Structure formats: structure tokens, C-alpha cells
Amino acid sequence: MLPIALSELIQIFRNRSVLITSFVMPVVVSAFFIYQHEVFATLGSLGYIAAVVLFTVCAFGLYASSVTTLASRRQNLFLKRLRSTAASDAGILTGLVLPVTVIALVQVAVIMTVFGVVPGMPGTIGLLVVAVLATVAMMLGLGLATAGFTNSPEHAQVTTLPVSLGVIAVASWVGIAGTEELTWLKRLLPGGSATELVVDAWNGGVSAGRSLLLLAPTLGWVVIAVVLASRFFRWEPRR
Amino acid sequence: MSSTPVIDVERLNLSYGDFHAVKDLSFQVERGELYALLGTNGAGKTSTLEIIEGHRSATSGAVRVFGQSPRDRRAVRPRMGIMLQESGFSPDLTVKESVRLIGKLTQRADTVERVLGVVDLTRKAGTKVSQLSGGEKRRLDFATAVYGKPELVFLDEPTTGLDIQSRDDLWAAVDNLREDGSTIVLTTHYLEEAQQRADRIGLMHRGTFHREGTVSELTRTLPAVIRFGLPPSAPALPLHGKREHDGKFLIETFSLQKDLFTLLGWAHDNAVELGQLESGPTRLDDVFRAIGTE
């Protein structure tokens, strides 16, 4: 797993377009939200900004990058070559997505820390960490599933749009409008309960027990994504 | 020497819906031999190889590699090197990085410098894979397949795209592997390579073997030919022959030396000139063409 992860890290830093669109842009967008936090806080809350920042990084830095990476490696038969070795399927997939996952986690940690310094620290840091990890797991799972029907890196620009834009839209909807109305619809949509968890964690004032119940829909999406990935994921291009 | 075959295929079947890609195929590959798996287009060679390599599962039948299921990657792959038909390297990695990565994943001990030396890519070590020529990529393929001198090596069209010198170098490296006791499974469209190097050959057509054996056993199944032109005034031939569409005579024989001696003696005695005389033993090409018409 680690040799594969290292080779992926090398390739990330050699591919300028991947670096800019998947890693630099989310940070720039997040920086804009933080810079304008007073404006966005009047729309929702500081917790809403934290949620949107999280999903921006996870959607474009993690989800879209993992789909593009897996589709590219499949298209040039690199996946097939890796499977010709003694490495297990789980080891191969983990190695391929580990760098983008670690980079996303570092980005989120840095951005959240900066955000915490600017307007104020989150109410419950432990709960925030749980929310971030659950969101990352969900987006990774959705990335594996999406890669199953993505034929090429170019095709990934299209196939990743629904989930990328969808989770950010849901995060905005939940972050701005709250969950007093259409509660279960908002919580069951991908990103909905994770957003509520982040908002609760940042804004504070909500019991940890209640908040942890919101983990269930997010983890449910992880399970759904893994089932879809095992159904659709291909190791070789269609002949 | 162990009598257990390295590869044991028994009544292998592979179907895609109603299409039977491999039908009831059985064969063994013994330790240390070079076995060539040949066949017509669409015969099922690639599917068979992929099952033996552990890339896909059979519909029915049994396949054992080193006595284990080839799907048990952890048990089998450290002992096996695979040269894929198509290059599958990441274009942004260098030659050295690619070999180092695949080498680590094989779990065999070796050095990048040694295998790059085997394929004459040492001076390209720092070059990105995207900048390599087709022949250089094939050499890189071979390097990763022989990393750590595996006990079993699959070579799928190994010399496609290689110049003559590179081909010679590749076969020299294969010979070194065989001297170390490695078993080789070869697929190739260059029949002369199989004819020169294979200990045994399996000829597939429409999903099953039509012929299997040594080159001598395979070519023995078809007669050798003697072909020549005759002047119109020539007397009757001493051997049974037939005139072809281009006017030449064709004699088919399982006793090439004896019949050629008889024909040449007759031509000398009757002062007959045999125009454009050509003869030779049956080649693998002839056997191949014969199964294609069956």
C-alpha cells in the first residue's frame, strides 16, 4: 500500500492541472468564505461556513480527485498492472486514494484552525473531528462508486458534478435553513446530517448524544457507497 | 526435480452468456519448460492466460499454479512475473520509479539497476514513461516481469514493437532465466519464435486445443513439400504429385530426404531441369494454417 501511495503523491505534484483544480481552488474558495465570514454568518451561522468549507474541500479536493485518479489509472491499464503483483485489491485502492485523503484532511485541519482563530474556536472540537472523519469516509465511498461508471479522466469532469454540486447545495440548504422543516429529508440527503453535525459542533449548545445520532445517516451513505462501488467498480476498461 | 506441474489446467471452461470462450481445456506446464500458447484470433488464449494469471475466474474447471489457486494472490504472485500484452504504466512516473514500485509490490529481492541493465534502459532511468518509445515501453514491461527472477514468467507478445537487437537481448535474458530454472509461458504471433524456443506448444482454435506437443510432434502431423517447375517435354515423374494453379508441381511427403533424393536422381538421369526448386520440412506456419481451416 505505501509504495503505491508514494507513487501517487509523486504524480499529484507532477500534474499541474490536478494540483490547481483539486487542491488550490478549494483552498482559495474556502479562504474567500473565511474572509467574508461576517456576511455568510448572517445567512446561516459560523457553523454553516465550517460545513461549506468542509464540503468544498471534500467535494473537489477529495471526491473529484479520487474519481479522476481511479478512472485515469484504469484507462492506462495501470490498475491492471498493479493487480498483476502480489498487492491485494484493498491495498491497491487504499494506496491510490491515501494521498488525496491525507491532503484533504490536512487542508480541512488547517482551514478549520485558521477559521477558528478568525471568528472564534468551535464549541465542541471532538464532535467536529468526528463529523469531518465521517464526511471524508462518505465522500471517499461515493468516489469509489462514481469511479465505477467513469470511463476516463475527461468523463470524470461530468460524472462528478452531481455529487460535488449536490453535497454543497445540501450543505448550504441545511446550513442556512436549518432542519426544523423537512427534517428527515434534509438529514437523509448526502451531506445533510453531516452538515447538521458540523453546525452543532461549531456553534455548540447541543448535546453530544443528540449530535452523535446524526452520524447514522452519514455512515449509512458510506455503506450505500461501498455497496455501489462493489457492484460497479471495474479494474479494466470495457472492451 | 519435482514432478508436480507448475501449471495444471483441468477441464477449464469460460463462458460469457451463450458464448463459450474456452471449452473443456486441459493441459499442464512442467517446471523449467518454455510452453508456447498459440492460436488463431479469438481462440481464447488471452482468456485462458488471464484465468491462469488469476485476473479472472473460470466458469468451471480447475486451475492450479504451484499447487494453489491462482486467485490466491498473496501465495502465488511473489513467485510469478507477468508481462502484459499492453503496457500499463503511469505516464508521469519515471522508468526507475516504475520499476521500483512494481518491484516492491512483487515482494521479491532485486535491484532496479540490475533489471534496467538487463533491458538496456539504464540511461533512461530518469525519463518519464510518457517519453519512451513503444519498444522502450515493452522493454520496461519485460523488466518489471523479470524483477527478482520469478519462478514462473508469463510473456504475452513480448517482442512486439522491438527491433532485432532488442529481441535478441530479450531472448538472451529469457535464456538466463531458464538456466536459473524459471518456467516460461509464452504467447506470440511470431511463430518462428515459438518454433525455435518452445519445448512444447499448445495450439488453440475456437476455445480448445486442436494440437499440443513438441514442435517435432506437431509438424510431423503434416507432410513436407517439394515444389518445382517442369518443362513441357519432361517424362513422367517418379513420384506422385499434383500441378498447382501457377503451373508448378507439388509433391507432399513424409519422407522428405528419400523422396528428394529420388527426384533429383530422376532429373539428373533424364537431363530435366527442375525450375525454382524449393523444399523444406513442415513449419509451424503450415500446422497453424491447417487448424485454421478445420
Tens of pLDDT, residues B192-204? 888 889 999 999 8
Please give the residue range of the domain that contains residue A133: 2-232
Does residue A212 sit at the B interface (CB-CB below 8 Å)? no
Q: Above 80 in pLDDT, residue B87? A: no
Tell me whether residue B164 is in a domain. Answer: yes
ipTM of the complex: 0.85
Q: Which residue of A has its CA nearest to B82?
A: A84
**Inter-chain touch B88–A7, beta carbons under 8 Å:** no
| Mean pLDDT confidence for A1-25 | 88
Domain boundary among B181, B197, B218: B218
Helix (H, G, I), strand (E, B) or coil at A76: coil
Tell me whether residue A239 is in a domain. Answer: no
Within its chain, how far is the Cα of A129 from the centroid? Answer: 14
pLDDT in tens, A77-117: 999 999 999 999 999 999 999 999 999 999 999 999 988 88
Average pLDDT value over all residues in chain A = 89
Residue B1: pLDDT band (50, 70, 90) is very low
Asked if residue B261 and residue B199 are part of one domain, the reply reads no
Nearest-CA distance from A69 to chain B in Å?
Answer: 11
Which residues 6+ apart lie within 8 Å of B175 measured at CB? Answer: none
Average pLDDT value over all residues in chain B = 90
Asked if residue B119 and residue B247 are part of one domain, the reply reads no
Asked if residue B214 and residue B228 are part of one domain, the reply reads no
| Mean pLDDT confidence for B145-149 | 95
Please give the residue range of the domain that contains residue B269: 222-282
Asked if residue B231 and residue B100 are part of one domain, the reply reads no
Q: Which residue of B has its CA nearest to A15?
A: B92
pLDDT in tens, B177-193: 999 999 999 998 888 88
**Inter-chain touch A76–B88, beta carbons under 8 Å:** yes
Asked if residue B205 and residue B252 are part of one domain, the reply reads no
Asked if residue B94 and residue B50 are part of one domain, the reply reads yes
**Inter-chain touch A10–B93, beta carbons under 8 Å:** yes
What is the structure's pLDDT at B289?
77
Q: Above 80 in pLDDT, residue A205? A: no
Residue A11 is nearest to which of B55, B82, B90, comparing CB atoms? B90
Residue B260: pLDDT band (50, 70, 90) is very high
Does residue A15 sit at the B interface (CB-CB below 8 Å)? yes
Q: Above 80 in pLDDT, residue B133? A: yes
Look at chain A and report how many structural domains it folds into. Answer: 1
Q: What percent of chain A has pLDDT over 70?
A: 100
Q: Above 50 in pLDDT, residue B69? A: yes
Tell me whether residue A200 is in a domain. Answer: yes
Look at chain B and report how many structural domains it folds into. Answer: 2
Asked if residue B252 and residue B169 are part of one domain, the reply reads no
Tell me whether residue A212 is in a domain. Answer: yes
Domain boundary among B197, B218, B239: B218
Tell me whether residue A226 is in a domain. Answer: yes
Q: Above 90 in pLDDT, residue A9? A: yes
Nearest-CA distance from A66 to chain B in Å?
Answer: 15
Tell me whether residue A64 is in a domain. Answer: yes
Taking a contact as any Cβ pair under 8 Å apart, which residues of chain A between 50 and 89 contact chain B? 73, 76-88
Residue B293: pLDDT band (50, 70, 90) is low
CB contacts, 8 Å: A4 with chain B: 101, 105
Asked if residue B239 and residue B192 are part of one domain, the reply reads no
Tell me whether residue A237 is in a domain. Answer: no
What is the structure's pLDDT at B160?
87
Residue A80 is nearest to which of B88, B90, B106, comparing CB atoms? B88
| Mean pLDDT confidence for B221-247 | 87
Tell me whether residue B288 is in a domain. Answer: no
Q: What percent of chain B has pLDDT over 90?
A: 60
CB contacts, 8 Å: A77 with chain B: 84, 86-88
Asked if residue B132 and residue B247 are part of one domain, the reply reads no
What is the structure's pLDDT at A160?
94
pLDDT in tens, B9-29: 999 999 988 888 899 999 999
Q: Which of A16-20, A182-186, B92-96, B178-182 has the lowest mean pLDDT?
A: A16-20
Residue A11 is nearest to which of B82, B88, B92, comparing CB atoms? B92
pLDDT in tens, B114-132: 999 999 999 999 999 999 9
Tell me whether residue A238 is in a domain. Answer: no
Asked if residue B64 and residue B40 are part of one domain, the reply reads yes
A-interface mutation test, from B53, B90, B142, B185, most A Cβ less than 10 A away? B90
Tell me whether residue B289 is in a domain. Answer: no
Tell me whether residue B268 is in a domain. Answer: yes
Residue closest to B80 by CA, chosen among B91, B95, B64, B93: B64
Asked if residue B226 and residue B187 are part of one domain, the reply reads no
Tell me whether residue B292 is in a domain. Answer: no
Cβ proximity of A99 and A8 under 8 Å? yes
What is the structure's pLDDT at A178?
85
Tell me whether residue B63 is in a domain. Answer: yes
CB contacts, 8 Å: A83 with chain B: 55
Tell me whether residue B133 is in a domain. Answer: yes
Tell me whether residue B290 is in a domain. Answer: no
Residue B117, domain CATH: 3.40.50.300
pTM (two decimals):
0.84
Q: What percent of chain B has pLDDT over 70?
A: 98
Q: Which residue of B has its CA nearest to A83?
A: B55
CB contacts, 8 Å: B78 with chain A: 86
